[in-house]
């Protein structure tokens, strides 16, 4: 991001690593749910969606409509 940097560790790093133009949001959610299998899956999903929305608001990423 111009004039900004994200400090990434743990889950945030695992999410951003998967924002590669290939993973769908659903794929990111299921992969993280596997990594964090001890956490409540619904909670993992909502945390990821919140985080992605935040990055989108900062214009750090865009969502592509699935074809």
Partner 1 sequence: MTSVPTNPLALIAELTHRCPLHCVYCSNPLELQNRANELTTEIWSRIFKEAAEMGVLQADLTGGEPLARSDILELVRSARAAGLYVNLITSGMPLDEARLAKLIEAGLDHLQLSFQGATEEIAAEISGTKSHPQKLRVLDWLKQVRVAVTLNFVIHRKNIDQIQQMLALAESSSATRVEFANVQYYGWAFANRERLLPTRAQLDRSIETLKSAQERLRGKIRIEYVVPDYYAKFPKPCMGGWGRKLMLITPTGEALPCHAAQIIPGMKFENVKDRSLREIWETSVAFQKFRGEDWMQEPCKTCDRREQDFGGCRCQALLLAGDASATDPVCSLAPTRAKVDAILEAANKPSAPELSLSAPDWLYRPNPA
Where does this chain bind partner 1 (CB under 8 A)? Answer: 2-3, 5, 56-59
CB nearer to partner 1: pick between 32 and 55: 55
**Measured in Å, how far apart are the chain's first and last C-alpha atoms?**
27
Alpha carbons 64 and 2: distance in angstroms, whole number: 21
CB nearer to partner 1: pick between 43 and 56: 56
Place of tokens 């699935």: 66
To the nearest whole angstrom, how small is the minimum distance from the Cβ of residue 6 to partner 1?
10
To the nearest whole angstrom, how small is the minimum distance from the Cβ of residue 13 to partner 1?
15
């Amino acid at each position: 991001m111009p004039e900004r940097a994200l400090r990434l560790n743990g889950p945030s790093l695992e999410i951003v690593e998967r924002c590669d133009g290939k993973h769908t949001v659903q794929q990111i959610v299921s992969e993280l749910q596997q990594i964090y299998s001890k956490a409540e899956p619904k909670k993992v999903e909502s945390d990821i969606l919140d985080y992605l929305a935040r990055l989108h608001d900062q214009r750090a990423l865009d969502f592509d409509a699935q074809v």
